[in-house]
Chain A
Amino acid sequence: MSDLHKLPDELQLATAAHVKYIQGLDTKKDQYEYWLTEHLRMNGLYWGLTALHLLRHPDALPRDETIDFVLSCQHENGGFGAAPGHDAHMLSTVSAVQILALVDGLDELDRRGKGKATTGKFMADLQNPETGTFAGDEWGEEDTRFLYGALNALSLLGLLNLVDLDKAVEHIVACANFDGGYGLTPGAESHSGQIFTCLAALTIAGRMDTVDVDKLGRWLSERQLPNGGLNGRPEKDEDVCYSWWVLSSLAMIDRIHWIDRDALIKFILRCQDTELGGISDRPGNMVDVWHTLFGLTGLSHLGYPGLDTIDPVYCLPKSTLDRVLGTQR
């Protein structure tokens, strides 16, 4: 990163603008889009809050209101909906647990919520005992995203014992391909998003021994394109979100140095809206909180100055995990 200080102003991290952008997300109630995305409210809060923590502005959203909102979305069965009145779902439950971990509020589950045990049971019950996979809700399709999400949140709650880890690992191994990557299901082509969820789940389960590190590292490193950005699969376009999926995967197998850091940093910085804040998928496109978080996690993985360290497995600041899980991990 030797030449980073020589970058022009528009290629510096616009921290203040990003903080303001995230703070402003919940004031857009007069915009149609705000209501159309209500089913992502819990996820959005998690994305925004994690981004603020990385930007070292952890108090930019009020803690009490955050906890109140999260708890207002919990159902009797322990699961969380995306917003009050929305059904409980695995993804919003995982986000809820992550948010509470971020603000040091996991104990509020027992104090004011339905309890850690009930929350954990909601997720554990979504495991298919035959195949080891997880569903998203009582109706939903199974997907390694849910498997990973469940392992992530259950380990934060200290309740991994509720699920059959061996079966879950068995399923992930069945999704592996000859190129070292993982697909959506057994037999599906390797995809960076699935590789991330599978590797992170394997890390939590303590089974990285099943990974073909060299082949996977090679495949992942080929995701970097001449413009510095990363793509998700061969012969596809770059996108800032792969600064999370690909880079975290490389981090978990200790191969981040197999891509060009400076080139990726510049690509991510070019995707900023330096005036109004936020980061987009590609330079010049509409920003959103999802790409904002994953641009920042990418920069954090690359050691960009002024950002807190992100954990490649949990997508939470390392300091949060040290507090919740202890430093001996």
Chain B
Amino acid sequence: MASAGGSHGIARTARRRTDEQRQQDLDRIAKYRGLEDQIREQAKAHDYASPALFDLTTRLLRLNPEYYTTAAWVMALEGVAEYISERHYETAFRRLLALVLGCDPARPKVPATYEEWAEWYNNHDESTKILEDAGAGRNSKNVANDASVLQSELAFTIPLLIEFPKCYWIWNHRSYILSLCIELLPVSLAREVWTAELGLVTKMLTKDRRNFHAWSYRRRVVARLESDVLDGKSMAEQEFMYTTKMVNQDLSNFSAWHNRSQLAPRVLDERKADHVARKVFMEAELNLAREALNVGPDDQSLWYYHQFLMSQILPEYKCGARSWSRIAPDLTLEERTDYVKREIEEIRDLLEDYKDVKWIYEALLEYSIALDGMCKDKGTTRPKQELTEEAQTWLETLRQLDPLRKGRWDDFAQTG
């Protein structure tokens, strides 16, 4: 078992090459392996700061960003370390940028000279402070140089990320450079860099709304921006609003709904919401999910969010001894029962317009059985029992609508 190694979504074509194609392949191989050999040769000298080595690794990584070994990313990384606060950047990094960014139309604007960098960060309100904060032994020129090196390296990865959005090593390298920004730059400048990073994630999520690496990355970037090292404060409200925006654009975005489910309890805690406020919040979310279901009752994303909300109400949702209930943890059994009853009625109403959507029957079955258990057992465990006549008909309909999961419905009929 290992990481994803396959080709995805590439149409099968004839695997026989013409002589010309074969020769082209051989030429490319010679070039590629030549690069590898030169890198290994240079690396033997352990002179990672050599601009020539840096240039070679840059070219290799352009050809193959999956190349994880010392000879590439790690050296690129050490190469960067060597350039920090050195004056070599004028040569090696300009060459690097010319190589990497010169051919990509999506490249960000990278300042080309020290003067341009100075101008870039003179535009920031706190620029004077930044220069003063630069600290003992680190003059403004050093800071500017560090910023330049780090920004260049961040820019280096952007066209690669556009081409290889799931390549782990690019993200890894980028994370390392970003952590160096915190270590080496004045807080307000580092914060600028990290804020720009959040902008990049937002852009990526506009292009690919369900990229779970990007969502994970977003949570990490936000956590850093919230942390003390960047003079941050909680961004839960703002991130919660971002999920509102994302689901409004596209209801069928489970990743956005998921993030919303993670942020909701935090938002309430930070608002110091009392029991009533929490109930109001819960009802608003239930309404939001239900309105969406009225439009798209076939959409699993919406049903999972609805299920998440119900997991906050139903006592049977537990992870070991831990309850999932964090939105309104103090609901009384009566309040819980009322919610479940209302949801069942609302979902039953959906049947008027949608007779052949299996999710409706599944939800009705789950919630009505849970309700029975809550009524009889004061909210602890669900007793085994006969299905009501109505539940029997739902189960029968489910079997017809969902033959793929016949085995599951058979088990369900037996165990209830």
In the complex, which residues 28-49 of chain A have their Cβ closer than 8 Å to any Cβ of chain B? 30-32, 35-37, 39-40, 43-44, 46-47
> Is A187 an interface residue, CB under 8 A from the partner?
yes
Give the CA-CA distance A221 to B6 in the complex, in Å: 24
Contact across chains for B304 and A234 when beta carbons are under 8 A apart: yes
Give the CA-CA distance A188 to B210 in the complex, in Å: 12
Q: Please encode chain A, from 165 to 205, with 1 for each CB lying within 8 Å of some chain B CB and 0 for all others.
A: 00000000100101100011101110100000100000000
Given A32-B28, A191-B212, also A39-B3 (CB < 8 A): no
Contact across chains for A259 and B5 when beta carbons are under 8 A apart: no
Give the CA-CA distance A185 to B258 in the complex, in Å: 13
Stretch of B8-16, B129-137, B272-280, B328-336 at the chain-chain interface: B8-16
Give the CA-CA distance A212 to B321 in the complex, in Å: 11
Contact across chains for A178 and B308 when beta carbons are under 8 A apart: yes
Interface range for A: 35 or more
Contact across chains for B6 and A241 when beta carbons are under 8 A apart: yes
> Is B404 an interface residue, CB under 8 A from the partner?
yes
Given A36-B63, A141-B175, A187-B262, also A258-B405 (CB < 8 A): yes
Closest chain B residue to A187 by CB distance?
A: B262
Give the CA-CA distance A282 to B8 in the complex, in Å: 8
Q: How far is the CB of A40 from chain B (nearest CB, A)?
A: 5
Pick from B11, B25, B408: contact of A218, CB below 8 A. B408
Contact across chains for B11 and A286 when beta carbons are under 8 A apart: yes
> Is B299 an interface residue, CB under 8 A from the partner?
yes
Contact across chains for B74 and A139 when beta carbons are under 8 A apart: yes
Contact across chains for A282 and B9 when beta carbons are under 8 A apart: yes
Give the CA-CA distance A39 to B3 in the complex, in Å: 11
Contact across chains for B8 and A239 when beta carbons are under 8 A apart: yes
In the complex, which residues 80-101 of chain A have their Cβ closer than 8 Å to any Cβ of chain B? 81-82, 85-87, 89, 91-92, 94-95, 98
Give the CA-CA distance A210 to B320 in the complex, in Å: 6
Closest chain B residue to A92 by CB distance?
A: B2
Closest chain A residue to B308 by CB distance?
A: A178
Contact across chains for A178 and B69 when beta carbons are under 8 A apart: no
> Is B194 an interface residue, CB under 8 A from the partner?
no
Q: Name the A residues within 8 Å of B259 (CB-CB).
A: 189
> Is A315 an interface residue, CB under 8 A from the partner?
yes
> Is B120 an interface residue, CB under 8 A from the partner?
no
Contact across chains for B32 and A184 when beta carbons are under 8 A apart: no
In the complex, which residues 267-294 of chain A have their Cβ closer than 8 Å to any Cβ of chain B? 273, 276, 280-282, 284-291
Pick from B12, B69, B171, B210: contact of A87, CB below 8 A. B69
Contact across chains for B216 and A236 when beta carbons are under 8 A apart: no
Given A91-B3, A218-B408, A260-B404, also A235-B254 (CB < 8 A): yes
Give the CA-CA distance A304 to B27 in the complex, in Å: 44
Contact across chains for A179 and B3 when beta carbons are under 8 A apart: no
> Is B105 an interface residue, CB under 8 A from the partner?
no
Q: Name the A residues within 8 Å of B406 (CB-CB).
A: 260
22 contacts between A and B (CB under 8 A): A30-B26, A36-B66, A39-B64, A40-B2, A82-B68, A87-B69, A137-B68, A145-B1, A176-B319, A179-B304, A188-B216, A189-B212, A189-B254, A233-B210, A234-B300, A235-B254, A235-B299, A257-B408, A276-B15, A286-B10, A287-B12, A291-B6
Residues of A within 8 A of B (CB): 30-32, 35-37, 39-40, 43-44, 46-47, 81-82, 85-87, 89, 91-92, 94-95, 98, 137, 139-141, 145, 148-149, 152, 173, 176, 178-179, 183-185, 187-189, 191, 197, 210, 212, 215, 217-218, 221-222, 224, 226, 233-236, 239, 241, 255, 257-260, 263, 273, 276, 280-282, 284-291, 315
10 closest A-B pairs by beta carbon, nearest first, are A290-B6, A257-B407, A189-B258, A234-B300, A258-B408, A43-B2, A260-B404, A178-B311, A91-B2, A87-B69
